[in-house]
Structure 1
Amino acid sequence: MANFDLNLVTTFVTLYETQSLTVTAERLFVTQPSISYALGKLREQFDDPLFVRTSQGMQPTRLAAQLYVGFKQASRCIEESISEARKFEPGHSNRQFRLALSDLGEMALLPKLMERLNSLAPNIELEIIPLEIDQVGMWLNDGYIDAAICSRAITSAGLASKKLVSERYVCLLDAAHPRIHSEMSMEQFLAERHVLVTRTSGHGMAEDVLQKLGAKRRIKLRLPHFSVLPKVIPGTELLAILPSQIAESFCELPLTKPLKTLELPFEVPAFEVTLHWHSRSIQSTGLKWFFEQIQAALGESDAA
């Protein structure tokens, strides 16, 4: 290993995270044959396949999973050292940042954030990673993402956070619902069919309250994302629970059958939409600048 090519570390880490030769080549601005060649060198060095081609992509072997932790840390240290050695100038930087967002965050927050970033740093690249709330702590600790915006507390060690905005939950339904008009009782709420969005989005607080009350919704449809609700609910008798500001934005859409929002017939605590990052990141001038821009663009704005 004395003459190990450090460039292979970057290739390994990127391939591990993308599980795709094509995407790895695109991210590293090289050809796919170059990535295949680098993978061959890695396999030779470690006498292990490292990545096996499957229908789901290039799946890492057990040895690759073990190597990733150390390689990722080494890659992050190199990147941070280079970043700090060079003066970060937003107006000229082409640095890439990674931010984890839910689909609601993409709709409500991303336009405002991009407007600010395009104005101050037109050459930087922002990659949005679909939020998986149970993975955020590990992602931040491993350096897979730079920051995450979500509505649930992340308690992993070494993380820092900043409140962006307060929000609350409401019920979204068709404006011409045949049985529910300007108000809704608990009996009505439980009698209707519902759309349930999975907890990976970070929005499970209302369901927790219902469970404590011993109440159970009649679920008609389960979805991984909120963004399709304006296409699903109009013209139906379905109910959905979601944050108020994005629900109001759905009601303002030019739909053939309009929507409306109502207060929930049970009390759900307000929640905070929060920016999370790893505390070590503040040592990086570029990352510190990125976090400041998120707070400036999104603080006390629409919720995610």
Structure 2
Amino acid sequence: MNIDLNLVRTFVAVYETRSVSAAAKRLNITQPSVSYSLQRLRDLLQDPLFTRTRNGMLPTFNATQLFATFKGAIDNIQDAISAARQFDPSSSTRRFRIALSDLGESHFLPYLVRELESIAPSVGLEVIQIDSEKIGEWLSTSHIDAAVGNLEFVGAQILKRKLFTESYSCVVSTKHPTIGNSLSLEQYVAAKHVVVSPFTGHHLVEDVMSEMGIKPIVALRVPHFTSLLAVVATTDLMLTLPSRIAKSFARDGSMRSLPPPIPIPSFDVNLYWYPHSEDAMAQQWFCETIIRALSNV
């Protein structure tokens, strides 16, 4: 049964005032509107709800039973609206939690923190290491407020917004003995590769090589990317990773970024969140801030 929320408000007003006219005044509607709403609710619930007496509208037994539930529902909705309206990022001390990969921490976090400092200096931010298998649960239970990445199977109720489309590049040391300013398929297959554990969501490269029948020489397997800057710069190892990060790795001149000689599909980097009505405006503001800070990185 679907009941119009306005009918519930009318019921609560009549119950508390014991008067159709007083309820109409409280709700700022006409008395016929109150009477019409009461009749609709009576038809839906198959109960007279109120009896008109000299002392006002007397609730039936069923109406008395319903009042606590209806009143609680209205109060919860009003509290949520009130809390949402009162959210002010310039003065809020709320702490938001976001799940990022280690690459997200190193590349996205500076942009996001600068944006927060400029418009919400007292807001706190906590970063959770992303785990692609747990993101859906974390979002739906409010363990985190948002996540950024390229994730699959996060749950049917999880919402997402594309921030940008990304591709892959390879990075090698500028002192690599056999690889210069271009990269052939033969060089790529023969290279010693660094591979990052798949729980971060970066498993696309290995999937493509497997589909092509390429068995890479995996010289190093690590749980995250951020420890690899000095490793690749000072060895003959090759790392395949998102292009934005590859370019930042190569910026100091110790490494070069090259297009991969295999067809690795581009992918979307998305913002993920789960709508929570009790914190709607704060959550909306946080998501909009992430979108603004990261869409053009």
Structure 2 length as normaliser, TM-score?
A: 0.70
Instruction: Identify the match of residue 277 of structure 1 among 267, 273, 286.
Output: 273
Partner residue, 2:165: 166
Partner residue, 2:243: 244
Partner residue, 2:209: 210
2:148·2:269 contact (CA, 8 Å) conserved in 1? yes
Partner residue, 1:294: 290
Separation in structure 1 between the aligned mates of residue 245 and residue 94 of structure 2, nearest angstrom: 31
3-state SS of 2:152 partner: coil
**AA of the residue aligned to 1:289:** W
For residue 82 of structure 1, report the CA deviation from its aligned partner.
Answer: 9.3
Separation in structure 2 between the aligned mates of residue 222 and residue 281 of structure 1, nearest angstrom: 42
Partner residue, 2:230: 231
Separation in structure 2 between the aligned mates of residue 232 and residue 160 of structure 1, nearest angstrom: 37
For residue 85 of structure 1, report the CA deviation from its aligned partner.
Answer: 6.3
For residue 201 of structure 1, report the CA deviation from its aligned partner.
Answer: 1.6
Structure 1 length as normaliser, TM-score?
A: 0.69
Instruction: For 1:180-195, list aligned pairs within 5 A.
Output: 180-195=179-194
Separation in structure 2 between the aligned mates of residue 248 and residue 132 of structure 1, nearest angstrom: 25
Once the two structures are superposed, what CA deviation does each residue of 1:110-137 show, in whole Å capped at 9, x if it has no partner? Answer: 1111111111111111000011111111
Partner residue, 1:19: none
1:282·1:288 contact (CA, 8 Å) conserved in 2? no
For residue 158 of structure 1, report the CA deviation from its aligned partner.
Answer: 0.6
2:80·2:279 contact (CA, 8 Å) conserved in 1? no
- Structure 1 residues 292 and 167: alpha-carbon distance in aligned structure 2, compared to 1, 3 A threshold: same
Instruction: For 1:92-107, list aligned pairs within 5 A.
Output: 92-107=91-106
Separation in structure 2 between the aligned mates of residue 162 and residue 282 of structure 1, nearest angstrom: 21
1:281·1:287 contact (CA, 8 Å) conserved in 2? no
Separation in structure 2 between the aligned mates of residue 253 and residue 165 of structure 1, nearest angstrom: 25
**AA of the residue aligned to 2:288:** E
Separation in structure 2 between the aligned mates of residue 283 and residue 154 of structure 1, nearest angstrom: 25
For residue 141 of structure 1, report the CA deviation from its aligned partner.
Answer: 1.4
Q: How many residues are matched?
A: 221
For residue 245 of structure 1, report the CA deviation from its aligned partner.
Answer: 1.0
For residue 298 of structure 1, report the CA deviation from its aligned partner.
Answer: 0.8
> Sequence identity, in percent?
40
Give the RMSD, CA atoms, in angstroms: 2.1
Partner residue, 2:256: 260
Which ranges in structure 2 are unaligned for 5 or more consecutive residues? 1-75
- Structure 1 residues 101 and 268: alpha-carbon distance in aligned structure 2, compared to 1, 3 A threshold: same
For residue 300 of structure 1, report the CA deviation from its aligned partner.
Answer: 2.6
Instruction: For 1:1-304, list aligned pairs within 5 A.
Output: 81=80, 84=83, 87-253=86-252, 258-280=254-276, 284-301=280-297
Separation in structure 2 between the aligned mates of residue 273 and residue 153 of structure 1, nearest angstrom: 11
**AA of the residue aligned to 2:268:** E
Once the two structures are superposed, what CA deviation does each residue of 1:154-196 show, in whole Å capped at 9, x if it has no partner? Answer: 4412110001111100111111211111222222211121110
1:168·1:269 contact (CA, 8 Å) conserved in 2? yes
Which ranges in structure 1 are unaligned for 5 or more consecutive residues? 1-76
Partner residue, 1:30: none
Separation in structure 1 between the aligned mates of residue 242 and residue 104 of structure 2, nearest angstrom: 11
